[in-house]
Structure 1
Amino acid sequence: MVWVDVFAEVVQRNAGHLMALEKAARWAGDEGNITEVREWLYKLRGQSHMFLVSFLEYPNEIDRGTWDVQGPLFGETYSRCRYRYTRLLVDIPMKPWETDLRDAVEEVMGGICGVLLEVGFEVERAWYALEEGAGAKLVKLAERWEESVRGLRAWVGWEGEFIRCDKVCEWDERCYIPMWPLLKSVWGGRRPRPPPRDGPGNGTEPRPGPPPGKGRGPGYGGGHRGPGYGMPGRGPSWMGDETDLWAPKCVKMDDIMPRPRAD
């Protein structure tokens, strides 16, 4: 697997969507105007579907409990999302540095999936309630959705959809989009993890379960949590400081992929 390309794809696939979803969640209308509410929620739902469609398998029957974020459908969808790039690696022996790279992708995808799927499921639940004629406090929901996506954008630090290096890299370099969990062993054996949104964390919280082994079963990720708002401290010199995180730059391949230690 070409990990640098995976990092770039994570950014390219999600950066623009985050900006569009944050804008779509913004409510500035009259909550008493049902036509206006329906039109706004319809557009927001369409934007949310652009992310959900890759991971969500719609059930044959939908009821009140279908879109519960604590339910089995959310868990299965979260697992598909978090392990999108690493699911097939679960049975493959990996070197320590490869494990670090895999974990970096899973941590970042886990943060993105936790927020966007939660917003998406709540949007679906609000739409279901609207279709059934039930009332919903959409103004407060809209504020929470917008705040959640804004917090996610602050966590990842993406400011544009098309993120790439400003110059053509040399033959022995790659355009690298830094991910904070990837700073090679700068924190020793433990990489910092973002705290849960509902309180401070110390990195000891239960992690989501691993994806299933070989086969087509979806697996249940369980125990999801969204990203926190803090960023890690300083990494290796070529990384710069926390202000450089997610800023693409040309770096030597040996800096990204450390050589195996001599036994």
Structure 2
Amino acid sequence: MGKERWGPRLEGISKEDVDTLHVELKRALEGEWGSTPKSGVDWQAVFSVVSTRYAERLEIVRYLLRSLSTVPRDGMLAGLRQVHRQLTATLRPYLLYSVRPPPRAQTSDLQWMVPVWVHCAMTHTRAVEVNTELTRSERLLVRAVRDTSKDICRVLVGMWAEGKIHKFDVEESPSSNMKGTSLKQLVENWKTRIEDLMAWLDWSIWVRCEPACGYEEMCYMPQWPFFKHMPPGPTPENPNKTTTEDNGRDRSNPDDDWDRPVPRCIRRIEPFDNGEHDWTFEIGII
């Protein structure tokens, strides 16, 4: 718990956890996995619809908010209106015309937006959850989709509701009751919430080289043995090295890409020598 997906390791697993895993595998292999599920749910489609709907839209919101960091104060209001329009477009299928902030509403009380949040969070799982043919594993899958949707909608609907209260909706009011420092604080608050959400989701679709590679380069995700700094254990030059030897790594170095590989641009056209390990040449000609 509390670790990113790079963190968990089987090393050091307790005997109790091993026994639990064996029991679960036996139950699954001999039971529900031994026959075709009767539920008829297309799980690939269920998962895909959530990531496809939000992946690019979240990136756009993050991009807009990051771009406001360098905008003068007098331009922040227009920028926040643009962000709010993007949020509205993202949530359009779930917005209810009957849901409006009450007069003199405060951002500390967002109970009025709960129906929108529920509609947003439950749309993709409501029909699946009532299926009586779900196996135990499928119930786990539907909970994963539901809980993920809840957190995505919690952040997006919360920001949308705050924008409504601040009158960022141009159709309702041509002016806002926020000025100067308050606008800057809201930008930072929204940006933090979006970035924290995306870090928690950690979807693979966002794992790519930024900025994008040039035409003569390719985006490469480091993998053994092609790391900038060799990981613990055997190397091509010394296959008998033990896993306890750390190969002189400096874990505080941001270029140490073993614990958390980060995609980087490498050349795919000669000359391959860019000051890195000679493996760059080997990768470049693959």
Q: TM-score range by the shorter chain?
A: 0.5 to 0.7
RMSD across aligned positions (CA): 3.0
Q: Does 1:83 align with 2:128?
A: no
Distance 1:72 1:157, change over 3 A: same
Structure 2 match to 1:41: 80
- With structure 1 as the length reference, what TM-score do the two structures score? 0.54
CA deviation after TM superposition for structure 1 residue 112, in Å:
0.9
* Aligned match for 2:194, one of 131, 135, 149: 149
Structure 2 match to 1:135: 178
Distance 1:161 1:46, change over 3 A: farther
* Aligned match for 2:150, one of 104, 110, 115: 110
Distance 1:128 1:40, change over 3 A: closer
Give the letter aligned to residue 135 of structure 1: M
Structure 2 match to 1:216: none
Offset from partner CA, 1:179-211 (integer Å, 9 cap, x none): xxxxxxxxxxxxxxxxxxxxxxxxxxxxxxxxx
Offset from partner CA, 1:71-106 (integer Å, 9 cap, x none): 443211111111111112344323322211110110
Answer yes or no: is the 8 Å Cα contact 2:99–2:116 preserved in 1.
Answer: no
Name structure 1 gaps, 5 residues minimum.
164-241, 245-263
CA deviation after TM superposition for structure 1 residue 68, in Å:
4.8
SS of the equivalent of 1:135 reads coil
Offset from partner CA, 1:114-173 (integer Å, 9 cap, x none): 11111221222223597455234110000010111011111111364799xxxxxxxxxx
Answer yes or no: is the 8 Å Cα contact 2:80–2:168 preserved in 1.
Answer: no
* Cα distance in 2 between the residues matched to 1:65 and 1:15: 34
SS of the equivalent of 1:82 reads helix
Answer yes or no: is the 8 Å Cα contact 1:81–1:109 preserved in 2.
Answer: yes
Distance 1:54 1:103, change over 3 A: same
Structure 2 match to 1:203: none
* Cα distance in 2 between the residues matched to 1:8 and 1:133: 38
Distance 1:92 1:51, change over 3 A: same
Answer yes or no: is the 8 Å Cα contact 1:67–1:124 preserved in 2.
Answer: no
Q: How many residues align?
A: 163
Offset from partner CA, 1:15-64 (integer Å, 9 cap, x none): 11111001112322222x2xx23421221112111222121113376544
Structure 2 match to 1:119: 159
The higher-RCO structure (CA 8 Å, 6+ apart) is: 1
Distance 1:162 1:64, change over 3 A: farther
Structure 1 match to 2:72: 30
Structure 1 match to 2:47: 7
Identity in percent = 20
Give the letter aligned to residue 196 of structure 2: G
* Aligned match for 1:74, one of 97, 102, 113: 113
SS of the equivalent of 1:58 reads coil
* Cα distance in 2 between the residues matched to 1:67 and 1:55: 22
* Aligned match for 1:99, one of 115, 136, 139: 139
Structure 2 match to 1:53: 92
Answer yes or no: is the 8 Å Cα contact 1:15–1:159 preserved in 2.
Answer: no
* Cα distance in 1 between the residues matched to 2:101 and 2:109: 16
Give the letter aligned to residue 190 of structure 2: W
Alignment of 1:163-202 (within 5 A): none
* Cα distance in 2 between the residues matched to 1:107 and 1:133: 34
* Cα distance in 2 between the residues matched to 1:19 and 1:159: 13
Structure 2 match to 1:18: 58
- With structure 2 as the length reference, what TM-score do the two structures score? 0.50
Give the letter aligned to residue 41 of structure 1: L
